[in-house]
Structures are given as C-alpha cells and as structure tokens.
Amino acid sequence: QVQLVESGGGLVQAGGSLRLSCAASGRTFSSYGLGWFRQAPGKEREFVANINRSGGSTYYADSVKGRFTISRDNAKNTVSLQMNSAQPEDTAVYYCAATRAVVPTTIRSRYDYWGQGTQVTVSS
C-alpha cells in the first residue's frame, strides 16, 4: 500500500510559478506510475500529467503542456509538479495519485492510491 501526501500549494499571481510535491510511503514506490490530477469547484477531477516508473516518460494534458513539468525521485519517494506561467484557470485542488498500471494512464479510475490534495489559487 502507498500513502501519498501533497504539499506546496498556495496563492500565486498569474504568470508566476509554484512547485507541488508529493511524498510517498512504502518501499515499492518505484513500482508505481504516478500522476497529478486537479479539481476546480463545480467541475470533475481532471488529468494534468503523469510519469512512468523510471521517470523516463511523461505525458501532459494539452492545457498545461509547455507550462508544467512532472518529475520524480525514486530515491526520495517523491513526485513533483513544477507549475510555470500559472493562469487563473489553473486554480484547483491538486491531487497526486499512484497506479499499478505498467503504462501510466490519464484515466482517473485506473489510479489505486490518492493523496488528500493541496489547494492552488492563481490570482489575476
């Protein structure tokens, strides 16, 4: 089992940067693909980015491509999301998630473990 705890959320002005981190427990961290999702008020939780087990492959939602970067450190059991050029539409609760799937997916239901979320607010 994996427990995930996000941190790094907060308030940032439009055009600014923020770095989210997610710390995982467990000795099998490198056996999981990881993803970031977000949920804005009144909207469904949506895919943001994922990264495979080794960290060698990443995938992004079109809305964040070129602005956000996902990375992982298997030695430290952490996954991060660097958010650059933040926009008001990026305002949401951000969740990290872990999947046993060999190839990380954009499908929310394929993720087995979730963190509690961290709030990101981008002011205009």
* Ordered per-residue pLDDT tens for the chain, 124 residues: 899 999 999 999 999 999 999 999 987 899 999 999 999 999 999 999 999 999 999 999 999 999 999 999 999 999 999 999 999 999 999 999 999 988 889 999 999 999 999 999 999 9
Please report, as a single letter, which amino acid is at residue 115: G
| Residues 107 and 45 sit within 8 Å (Cβ to Cβ) | no
pLDDT for the residue numbered 77:
96
Give the residue from 28, 48, 27 showing the smallest Cα distance to 97: 48
